Structure 1
């Protein structure tokens, strides 16, 4: 893998995280948490280290809306906390 391939891969995984947050309706809530930058960076790191990019992309394409992320989502706990804070759960 070249460095450029790595950067493209990282960017694609970051985009998946953004799509997941939007799909589950917590993207705005994420922006309002204390230490927003730190929380977001850790969420991006969890997404980047996930091995389910293809499954995640397919799941996102197949779901118009969802209440919970797939079981393999490494940000599942964060999403649940954001949903709780937003009164979605």
Structure 2
């Protein structure tokens, strides 16, 4: 895998994380949480290291409303904490 292929893949996984946060309705909470830049960076890192990007993209495309992310989501705990801020 070339560096360019890796970077494109990493960007795609980061985009999935952003879509997941919007789908779960926590994008605003993520932006205002203490040390939000570090929290967002760690969340993006978890998405980048996930092997379920195809499943995640399909879930995001097919799901109109959900209370919880899919079981394989590596940011489930973060999303639950952000949902409790509402």
- Any stretches of 5+ residues in structure 1 without a counterpart? none
- Any stretches of 5+ residues in structure 2 without a counterpart? none
Question: Where does structure 1 differ by over 2 angstroms across 4 or more consecutive aligned residues?
Answer: none
Partner of 1:33 in structure 2?
A: 33
Whole-angstrom CA distance in 2 between matches of 1:34 and 1:61: 30
Whole-angstrom CA distance in 2 between matches of 1:3 and 1:44: 18
TM-score (norm 2): 0.98
Aligned pairs, number: 86
TM-score (norm 1): 0.95
